[in-house]
Amino acid sequence: MKRVWSPDELLEHWTLVPHEHQLLGNKSGSTRLGFAVLLKYFQYAGHFPHHPHEVPEAVVTYVAQQLAMVPETWNQYDWHGRAIKYHRAQIRQELGVREATVADGEALSTWLSTQILLSTHRLEHVREALYQRCRESRLEPPTPERVERLIRSAFHQFETQLGERVVHRLSPSTRQKLDTLLVLETPTAEASPPAGSPESGQTVLQDLRVDSGRASLENLLREMTKLERVRALDVPLALFDH
């Protein structure tokens, strides 16, 4: 969350409305300020802060002023006691959200792999999409550690499914030719290998990926040989249409 907030932004996103003042009930001291900050934070971010320093100082000060309290009271809020657990449960009930289950996590990972990763692999975009999905589904997102595991699982699912779809669109002969790219070239006692052949102990694939080097007739012929090797694979032009 950003650390600098303008007065207008604080007014728009962090103002307690009359109904929310009623939710504070008979809470006092740090529990009163703690509950108010948690409530407004969840409304804005879609999840609870995971430690007190995650909440910008300007936000704490603004919420404390509305309650006629000093901001330092925030430092006294117990992050490991029974009160904060009760406050989170009360806020979930008020906002109509629930904690994400294991099944929800698996569904989120599948959704990322089938919907989001088709268009972007930038981690920050994928992460934001997951949190937005939670907002739309009225879910409290998993912990940050769990979110990262779900994202890694989504990438794995996507890559596995993509690989399977690609392989199924290849002919048996093309698959066999691709396999030969991974075979190591072994030295022989006979004549020198023809120009453009991989070096001993190197796979054809490794050779194909070698930089072409400086412009020369020898390197040009070598790159032409590489091109012919690739063409001989008979990979269909429409392989990645999906």
* Interval 143-172: pLDDT, tens: 999 999 999 999 999 999 999 999 999 999
Please report which confidence band the pLDDT of residue 186 belongs to, taking 50, 70 and 90 as the band edges. Answer: low
The string of DSSP letters for 56-107 reads: -HHHHHHHHHHTT--GGGGGG--SSSHHHHHHHHHHHHHHT-EE--HHHHHH
Is pLDDT above 80 for 138?
A: yes
Give the tokens for residue 3: 């650390």
The string of DSSP letters for 130-195 reads: HHHHHHHTTEE---HHHHHHHHHHHHHHHHHHHHHHHHHTS-HHHHHHHHHTTSBP---SSSPPPT
Give the H/E segment covering residue 24: none
Q: 134 or 186, which is more confident?
A: 134
Alpha-carbon distance 150 to 156, whole Å? 10
How high is the pLDDT of residue 194? 55
CB of 147 closer than 8 Å to CB of 47: no
Is pLDDT above 70 for 102?
A: yes
CB of 29 closer than 8 Å to CB of 73: yes
Please report which confidence band the pLDDT of residue 175 belongs to, taking 50, 70 and 90 as the band edges. Answer: very high
Q: 199 or 138, which is more confident?
A: 138
Is pLDDT above 80 for 77?
A: yes
How high is the pLDDT of residue 183? 86
Q: Where are the domains of the chain?
A: 7-96, 99-168, 172-231
Is pLDDT above 80 for 211?
A: yes
How high is the pLDDT of residue 203? 87
How high is the pLDDT of residue 212? 87
Cα of first residue to Cα of last residue in the chain, in angstroms, is 37
Per-chain mean pLDDT for the chain: 91
Q: Is the dihedral of CA 171, 176, 179, 185 positive or negative?
A: negative
